[in-house]
Amino acid sequence: MPIHAGPAGARDAAAAVVAGIARDFHHAHVEVAWDPPRDPWSWTGRVSLVSPPPDACGETAG
């Protein structure tokens, strides 16, 4: 991420990190949606599960 990147680039990078963690550690596919910023330096996002992990069929490990 270049230091001169704007807010849109930073939001895209943050969404990519969240999606990567969900994929790599949880084997799930997520989407990140950003709420309109109230202040230029403050963002709120929502993470939505698009496809659950393969073993998430309501069963618990054990």
For residue 16, give its domain range.
7-51
> Does some domain include residue 62?
no
What are the angstrom distances between the C-alpha of 26 and each of 30, 39, 54, 58? 10, 32, 9, 15
> Does some domain include residue 61?
no
> Does some domain include residue 42?
yes
Q: Is the pLDDT of residue 60 over 60?
A: no
Contact residues for 29 (Cβ-Cβ < 8 A; gap 6+): 19, 22, 23, 49, 50, 51
Structure token pair of residue 22:
């969900």
> Does some domain include residue 41?
yes
Q: Is the pLDDT of residue 9 over 70?
A: yes
Q: Whole-prediction pTM value?
A: 0.75
> Does some domain include residue 26?
yes
Domain count of the fold of the chain: 1
pLDDT tens across 31-46, in order?
999 999 888 778 899 9
pLDDT tens across 13-36, in order?
999 999 999 999 989 999 999 999
> Does some domain include residue 29?
yes
Q: Are 49 and 19 in contact (CB under 8 A)?
A: no
